[in-house]
Amino acid sequence: MLYEPLFPSNEAARAFSAGLRSAAVGKRIDYRARAESTNALAAEAAREGAGHGLVVVAEEQSAGRGRQGRSWLAPPGQGLLFSVVLRPANLPQERFGWVALAAGLACAEAIEARTGVAATVKWPNDIVVAADAPTPNGAGWRKLGGVLCESAFPHGSSAGHLVVGIGLNILQEADALPAVPKSPPTSVRIESGMETDRAALFGAVLETLDTRFAQLSDGAGFASVREDLARRLDAWWRGRTLRLGTAGGAREGRFRGLDAFGRLRIENERGADEAFADAEVLGVFG
């Protein structure tokens, strides 16, 4: 399949990096036409000493991964498939649960700012468009992309690294997207009705990621991340019932926000608060 490459040459990728208004993220880019997994390549680079902010990006992945062992499929040259190496020396470990949320927030903000698509965040790691009415299965969203965070901190050391993998659907038409009734996929092109400059959007995403990741290590900045995430989730979920998939089975409860660790809080049928660090929102009702 022919496609317009993100960068026509390594020199173009270097010029793109030099022009970014970011302190770290994207100041070095490893660009590949094809890779098994950008997360695997970024993790390997991190183990070999790659610095904070390295970005590995590919036009196509043969073994792209999503959360809970799922695969991430995208036609070549149609999305943005990339991973960022983070060395969060000043990030308290209790904030690690906010990294995927901050990444999703940054992607939603950049997409909305560049294209006008009303992207938002679905806890814990999805970038979505909230549906005006629930889809037939009750989902209530269309999925633009997702985030996969993997960490390596040997023996509890703070000198490890995080790899943040991101996949975004940009140019796909409806017939190029897989049929996933539980979480219906969409793309920026479908939502906006227009073709988007992938490189320009990529730059906006990297710059916004740079800002949001830096804020996680700062007191006032972290408060800003929490407030902006709360505003987006409240606008969509406040007062509504969420259906969750958990290790202990399906659960339902009214949305009560996020706790200090980024865990999802619900009020269950007994009126008690519960917090979940590892669950999946399967539907939104009410």
Confidence of residue 134 (pLDDT cuts 50, 70, 90): low
Question: What are 259-274's pLDDT values in tens digits?
Answer: 999 999 999 999 999 9
Q: What mean pLDDT, rounded, does the chain reach?
A: 91
- Model confidence at 57: pLDDT above 70: yes
Cβ neighbours of residue 250 under 8 Å, at least 6 residues apart? 243, 244, 282
Sheet-wide strand order for 264-267:
273-276, 264-267, 249-258, 241-246, 280-285
- In order of 20, 112, 176, the CA distances from 238 in angstroms are 36, 21, 34
pTM for this one? Answer: 0.94
pLDDT of the residue at 185: 93
- Quick check: 58 and 82 in contact, CB under 8 A? yes
Domain annotation for the chain: domains and CATH numbers:
10-237 (3.30.930.10), 238-286 (2.30.30.100)
From the number of C-beta atoms within 10 Å of its C-beta (0-12, 13-18, 19+), residue 75 rates as middle
Q: What percent of the chain has pLDDT over 90?
A: 79
How confident is the model at residue 66, as a pLDDT?
53
Place of tokens 């005006």: 132
**165/55 Cα distance (integer angstroms):** 10
- Name the more confident of 149 and 137: 149
Mean pLDDT of 79-91: 93
| pLDDT class of 65 with cuts at 50, 70, 90 | low
The rounded distance, in Å, linking the Cα atoms of 17 and 82 is 14
How far apart CA 257 and CA 115 sit, in angstroms, is 28
Per-residue confidence (pLDDT) for residue 131, from 0 to 100: 82
Going by pLDDT thresholds of 50, 70 and 90, the confidence category of residue 155 is low
Q: Is the pLDDT of residue 258 over 80?
A: yes
User: Do residues 257 and 234 make contact, with C-beta atoms less than 8 angstroms apart?
Assistant: yes
Least reliable range by pLDDT among 6-20, 141-155, 198-212, 233-247:
141-155
Determine which helix (DSSP H) or strand (DSSP E) holds 222, and give its type and residue range: helix 219-237
pLDDT-derived band at 128, boundaries 50, 70, 90: very high
pLDDT cut 70: percent of the chain above it: 91
The pLDDT of residue 74: 74
3 state DSSP class of 156: helix
What mean pLDDT comes out for the span 75-87?
95
The helix (run of H) or strand (run of E) holding residue 214 is helix 198-216
Whether 219 and 226 have beta carbons less than 8 Å apart is answered as no
List phi, psi (to 5°) of 178. Answer: -70, 155
What token pair was written down for 278? 């590892």
Q: What is the mean pLDDT of residues 10-37?
A: 95
Q: Are 56 and 35 in contact (CB under 8 A)?
A: yes
| Integer CA distances (angstroms), 153 to 46, 120, 159, 200, in order | 12, 30, 7, 34
Neighbours of 191 (CB within 10 A): 18
Say what the pLDDT of residue 64 is: 56
Tell me whether strands 119-122 and 249-258 are parallel, antiparallel or unpaired. Answer: unpaired
Predicted local distance difference test score (pLDDT) of residue 211:
98
More confident residue, 223 or 140: 223
pLDDT for 187-243, tens place per residue? 999 999 999 999 999 999 999 999 999 999 998 999 999 999 999 999 999 999 999
